[in-house]
Amino acid sequence: MKIKVTEVSNNSGRFVVTDNDAPVVGIKYALEDAENATSSQNRAFHALITEYWSSGMHSYPVKTFGEFRDQIKLKLGAGFEKIIYADIEGNKAVIFEVKTRAEVPAHILADPDLKRMVKGKLLSWSEYSKKQRTDTIDRLIAEMHAAGCNSKKFELILAGMA
């Protein structure tokens, strides 16, 4: 349900319902800003990746759920917040921080020993914008469909999102 809070004028009410659902008298609701990332997106994302992991239908070469979640955020999500690498500058080791892998010098990525000195920090799910969350969830659902996920739980999650 979405509502828009309005000013009170002539006892006409304090909100306008902006979709088909209306609040029920006597029910308590948690109010959150619909323009920003929402707790419902958070619940949906975590329910989806948990079901995807449990299904075994994914093809990610990971051993733990944490590694799986990170792969989803890397491949389907917003990716890295920053990339940190070490290089030699003036005979001294220096740590550099960049936004994208493309900014890491080619000689670092070409050298197996130096390549081990590159570390990416994934953007935390809590830092995703509403659009980034929506896009990630859409890509995740599409991938789950393509992988053949069709469990009852998956269908219930999708129905709850509708």
Pair (29, 97) in one structural domain: no
Note the pLDDT of residue 11. 58
Pair (66, 23) in one structural domain: yes
Q: How many CB atoms lie within 10 A of CB 136?
A: 22
**Residue 134 to residue 150: CA distance in whole angstroms:** 21
Residue 118 phi, psi dihedral angles, 5° rounding: -100, 130
Average pLDDT over residues 91-120: 91
Pair (28, 108) in one structural domain: no
Pair (22, 101) in one structural domain: no
Pair (136, 112) in one structural domain: no
Note the pLDDT of residue 154. 95
Pair (108, 69) in one structural domain: no
- Asked whether 98 and 85 are in contact (CB, 8 A), the reply is yes
Pair (95, 131) in one structural domain: no
pLDDT tier for residue 162 given thresholds of 50, 70 and 90:
confident
Give the CB-side neighbour count of residue 7, counting CA atoms within 13 A: 2
- Asked whether 93 and 113 are in contact (CB, 8 A), the reply is no
Pair (109, 138) in one structural domain: no
Read off the pLDDT of residues 21-66 as tens digits, 9 standing for 90 and up. 777 778 777 666 666 657 888 999 999 999 999 999 999 999 999 9
Pair (13, 26) in one structural domain: yes
pLDDT of 115 over the 90 cut? no
pLDDT of 1 over the 70 cut? no
Read off the pLDDT of residues 55-76 as tens digits, 9 standing for 90 and up. 999 999 999 999 999 999 999 9
Note the pLDDT of residue 83. 95
Give strand ranges (E) for the chain.
Answer: 3-5, 15-17, 80-89, 92-98, 118-122
If one counts the domains in the chain, the total is: 2
Domain of residue 20: give its range.
Answer: 3-76+125-161
Pair (67, 138) in one structural domain: yes
Pair (9, 68) in one structural domain: yes
Pair (140, 109) in one structural domain: no
